[in-house]
Amino acid sequence: MNRTIKKICLLKGGNSFERDISLVSAKECSSAIRQLGYEMCEFDFTGDAMALILHIQKEKPDCVFNSLHGGSGENGNVQSILNFLRIPYTHSGVVASSIAMHKYISGKLFESNGIRIPKNNFEKWSDFVKKIDFPCPFVIKPVDSGSSDGVYILNNPAELNDVAWEYGDMVLVSEYIPGLELTVGVLNDQPLAVTNIIASVGFYDYKNKYTPGQTFHEIPARIPDAIREEALEVAAKAHKLIGCRCVSRSDFRYNDVTRELFLLEVNTQPGMTPLSLLPEQAKFVGIPFEKLIQYMIEQSCYDK
């Protein structure tokens, strides 16, 4: 159902590890929203559902622009609050958000639909460290975190002695895929471009993601045409499988020796910072930042 949107509530901050990144994204989005001529209020969500409800009831915005990253802002919790309030919001809904945030569940969904993913186990941390029977090298990560928080690439079990695991009782253990790190943004079910992410040191971790000059984005990626087409196709397919709305970003590893492409995960709340990949890809295909924000707002005019 179409709605007239005059006033927007910008959700920012959050109570996850990615709070600082959300604030940077929100700053960019806030500027664009004001440039587009909307009236706007901002709300720093710290996990208090009632505070958010009272703010929405007081300000009476026509829609919410969700600029949260990680935690309750990305796992379906905030989306369920906004559904309860019957207010439109940007990005994906409850189901897509919760599935995408759980890397093991979403991975099984992808695998069962013919999408290649790395081999992985999901198990208790205490059981894993007692009997490490996963082939080396391997990757360990939290099942529901973002911005590469808690991601370790380990060449042998002894390196676990240097890991301070602070991410709950469970761990996702995956095979390490050598090669290139690729990403594809999706807008309105259509893939945008393929970017090759080249970190100056190590892999695309938190520092490399958010420190200027640490990472080079090669767009378009210099990869075989067949792999480019596969990445675009798989990103669009994964977006639709999960039920993503408006935007998403799919991350891949491409083994350039075996020429195999592996989908790692789908992000339903892609970053909107000056260093973020989705806005860069949108600009590459001719969509400037303000137009991207306008589109995302217009898409929220539909009931979910």
223 and 246, same domain (yes or no): yes
Q: What percent of the chain has pLDDT over 70?
A: 91
258 and 132, same domain (yes or no): no
Q: What is the largest CA-CA distance in the chain?
A: 59
Whole-number pLDDT of residue 148: 62
- For residues 131 and 142, what is the distance between their CA atoms, to the nearest angstrom? 19
pLDDT tens per residue across span 120-165: 999 998 888 888 877 788 999 888 765 567 788 888 888 888 887 8
52 and 27, same domain (yes or no): yes
- Which domain does 264 fall in, by range? 99-117+178-268
260 and 113, same domain (yes or no): yes
* pLDDT over 80 at 218, yes or no: yes
Q: Is 40 part of any domain?
A: yes
129 and 198, same domain (yes or no): no
- For residues 266 and 183, what is the distance between their CA atoms, to the nearest angstrom? 10
Tell me the three state secondary structure of residue 44. strand
Burial, 85: exposed, middle or buried (Cβ in 10 Å; 0-12, 13-18, 19+)? Answer: middle
* pLDDT over 50 at 303, yes or no: no
Q: Please name the amino acid found at residue 215.
A: T
Q: Is 191 part of any domain?
A: yes
Q: Is 239 part of any domain?
A: yes
Whole-number pLDDT of residue 207: 52
103 and 245, same domain (yes or no): yes
Q: Is 126 part of any domain?
A: yes
Residue 88 in contact with residue 63, Cβ under 8 Å?
yes
206 and 111, same domain (yes or no): yes
108 and 205, same domain (yes or no): yes
Number of domains in the chain: 3
238 and 105, same domain (yes or no): yes
- For residues 279 and 295, what is the distance between their CA atoms, to the nearest angstrom? 12
